[in-house]
Structure 1
């Protein structure tokens, strides 16, 4: 049964310095299953640690952003991306007087529900699951932390606090109905107030995600040879950052020049978010976290000018990176793999590993069976999905490169 977490031991020295609109650890709405308080960690620190130690978090090492896992060791994976998001979230939250532990916990959990092969895998599974309640990686992350992590003696999932679950569900904004089955299932257990904004900490995690992928997709695209520094100099923000590096460090080694320019882009985004948030918080003067939740839109966001510039950069990346011929070709191959694996296990669920057979036996209809198969396939890493596809359907070009 859920209950408030009011043990004074949960109040760290940092908690005493939080702004009134921050999530206070000693005022948490608690956990679905009541637990004794930690003597040395706040509730949100405990959430963060449970996420880091989860199986789903470890699997992020071999799940990708844009490039498939076999394509090289230098490209970002979901794990390295998640670590970068958490770092940015802590920086922004700390500067604004928010709870850095909660912002970090949401950041660390935000991609747990991603299937293999990045957004390509998500698109394929969403289409396959359309008759069975849909698929969304945010909702799947909630399913993982409330059901699929099965390590604790007293409960399934990680038994995270309400605030962390709310942040996972709503960090990208209020969630309109109809909800996916996974989100509806969690919300039925514990009302996450899906129609309101998330806490400021969760909003920070969402913006930190934007900052991190805008930065590293530029880095990865350059490394992959999909565009050049000269191409980037034609874009807003980027052109100014490269020009500043050239003024300060004429003749700089090309790799150092690239890094120096992109780290300035990173700084522009973070400083912009902090400046906008400080201005809005001062003018709106929220007195509580509930004031944040019921505002007309998010309080943590980019300025309008920078947002428009980032849209131009994203349009460039869409054409030159996300829809580059080499990337599209791999997308077709991995989509085919997902389209083979999912119906294979639906047609004969006895082929699922033994540890999944209890869930198969408990499925009362095709919809519930589809959810079991989805949980298995979505939990695969890129590497395992490629290997499993090769085992069942024969080797492919991707098999030879894993």
Structure 2
């Protein structure tokens, strides 16, 4: 069906009508959104619907740009082709949009959730997350912090004021090693688009982490269990294609408003994830760097907690945060956690060097 603009009818209204005409009954329509935390006055001739605006706010945010210097799995790799947190979210977005398109779901909503789902990740990947979870009295989870980023930390403390559906998809995207398709509905997003991102996330990371591990020489292709290779294929693109195709076919066949994967494919993905945990994430070279990264995060956190937050300005150190209420331990922990979590890998290393390592100097 081609879209022909109608003269005299607002573009926004035409976009809303088009959504209703072509999207699945299970898709989330912009006009049915639960809205934003702070109501905004939208221009009647706006060229973008709310979920498109959310996507653009995320991609134009400073936090999103910093993802290019945050680790996925391999810390400070020398090669240029290893994944970063930014390339990860782009791969998730591409996979999620492919699925959303085939299921006639809302693609801008899907893309917004995918691009924003890891904004709360720390420097040094899960090493940083594990350390902050240990140090902060109330714990730390990157998916919860992602919501804090878009609600409070971005835009100089004003947040991005995203739609409820995007925020819900962000905070409920994560799985860890829990069930890929949990039976408890409270663990998954309320929208089908958010549920698609959850699955796209795991499809992306089990495949690109395997690809990076093969590139790094940590494992060889022949070590991948034959049972997994038989189900998902022998090559990177084949594996992703098999998983995506299975999800789409099973979901369309069920046609019940829920995401479905065949038992055969679900078992293969689960076994592949277990294989990566047992053979890649705990591999001694990866683990040794993980321990080093934890030490860096721990030392920075404790230093800032004791001395206040500092930043490099014009080559010199100075307090860059109002220390009002710093005596309140809860406030101090929260500010330090926010600051450290927002660092990139290279900035954390630079600050660590500045604070803890001696620098060359001379006596005149």
Same fold (TM over 0.5): yes
Match of 2:144 in 1: 139
Deviations 1:252-296 (A, max 9, x none): xxxxxxxxx22111111001111221123x2x3x5xxxxxxxxxx
Task: Structure 2 unaligned segments of length 5 or more: list them.
Answer: 1-11, 176-184, 313-317, 359-364
- In the TM superposition, what is the alpha-carbon distance from 1:167 to its structure 2 partner? 1.1
Partner of 2:342: 379
- 1:202-281 map, 5 Å: 202-232=194-224, 234-239=225-230, 261-280=235-254
Give yes or no for contact 1:142–1:165 (8 Å, CA) kept in 2.
yes
- Paired residue secondary structure (2:227): coil
Q: Against the structure 1 CA distance between its residues 338 and 331, is the aligned structure 2 distance closer, same or farther, given a 3 Å change threshold?
A: same
The question of whether the paired residues in 2 share the 8 Å contact of 1:241 and 1:264 is answered with yes
Quick one: structure 1 residues 199 and 364, their matched pair in 2 at CA, closer, same or farther if it must change by over 3 Å?
farther
**In 2, Cα distance between equivalents of 1:30 and 1:88:** 26
Q: Determine helix, strand or coil for the equivalent of 2:120.
A: coil
- Contact 2:143–2:174 (CA under 8 A) maintained in structure 1: no
Question: Secondary structure of the residue that 2:104 maps to in structure 1?
Answer: coil
Note the 1:3-402 alignment, pairs <5 A.
Answer: 8=13, 11=16, 13-38=18-43, 39-129=46-136, 131=137, 133-151=138-156, 156-172=158-174, 197-232=189-224, 234-239=225-230, 261-280=235-254, 282=255, 284=256, 286=257, 299-351=258-310, 356-358=320-322, 360-362=323-325, 365-394=328-357
- Equivalent position SS for 1:237: helix
> Is contact 2:55–2:111 with CA below 8 Å preserved after alignment?
yes
User: Per the alignment, do residues 172 and 378 of structure 1 end up closer, same or farther by CA in structure 2, a change over 3 Å counting?
Assistant: closer
Tell me, yes or no, if the aligned pair for 1:171 and 1:198 is still in contact at 8 Å: no
Q: Which runs of 5+ in 1 are unaligned?
A: 1-6, 174-192, 244-260, 287-298, 396-402
Deviations 1:38-89 (A, max 9, x none): 5100100000000000011000000111101344321000000100100111
User: For residues 148 and 355 of structure 1, do their structure 2 counterparts lie closer, same or farther at Cα, with a shift above 3 Å needed?
Assistant: farther
Q: CA RMSD in A?
A: 2.4
Aligned pair in 2 of structure 1 residues 385, 84: CA closer, same or farther (>3 Å)?
Answer: same
Paired residues of 1:70 and 1:383 also in contact (CA < 8 A) = no
Q: How many residues align structurally?
A: 332
After superposing the two structures, state which structure 1 stretch, 360-369 or 386-395, moved more.
360-369
Which residue number in structure 1 is paired with residue 7 of structure 2?
none
Shift of 1:194: 5.9
User: In structure 1, what is the Cα distance between the partners aligned to 2:189 and 2:59?
Assistant: 26
The structure whose residues are more often helix, as a share, is: 1
* Pairwise CA distance, 1:307: 1.6
